[in-house]
Amino acid sequence: MAKEQTAVRDRTRTNLREPRRYKVIIYNDDFTTMEFVVLVLTSVFFKSAEEAEALMLAVHKSGSAVVGIYSYDMAISKVRKATMMAREENFPLRLECKPE
């Protein structure tokens, strides 16, 4: 006697959602030079020179600005890289990532 096989499958529901996005915020301080902030924005966040300068001026005038919106891993990676660059140059530049 052969075993009888059925072709019925149970359906399971999966609740898939878009991954949460995080905004990277850069803060103004009195010691980090404007040129260094532009360098960080162009090399870490891949902003054009014009966009980096506009963001740097926005940070200078308002105290902070959103640099970009990324997935969690990308946001943390960029914050760490920029912070490490700043510490190597002895600047107290502060960046943070927050949920969008």
pLDDT for 13-36, tens place per residue?
Answer: 778 888 899 999 999 999 999 999
Average pLDDT of span 47-51: 97
Number of compact structural domains in the chain:
1
pLDDT for 64-75, tens place per residue?
Answer: 999 999 999 999
Is residue 1, in this structure, part of any structural domain at all? no
Domain residue limits at 77: 21-99
pLDDT for 89-100, tens place per residue?
Answer: 999 999 999 998
Is residue 78, in this structure, part of any structural domain at all? yes
> Distance between CA 25 and CA 75 in Å, rounded?
10
Is residue 91, in this structure, part of any structural domain at all? yes
- Cβ neighbours of residue 18 under 8 Å, at least 6 residues apart? none
The pTM of this model reads 0.81
* Helices and strands in the chain, H and E counts: 3, 3
What are 42's two structure tokens?
A: 């162009």
Mean pLDDT for the chain overall: 92
Answer yes or no: is pLDDT of 87 > 80. Answer: yes
Dihedral angle, C-alpha 91, 64, 36, 47, nearest 10 °: 140
Which CATH number is 75's domain given?
A: 3.30.1390.10
Is residue 8, in this structure, part of any structural domain at all? no
For 36-58, b where at least 16 C-beta lie within 10 A, e where not — what string? bbbbbbeebbebeeeebbebbee
Is residue 3, in this structure, part of any structural domain at all? no
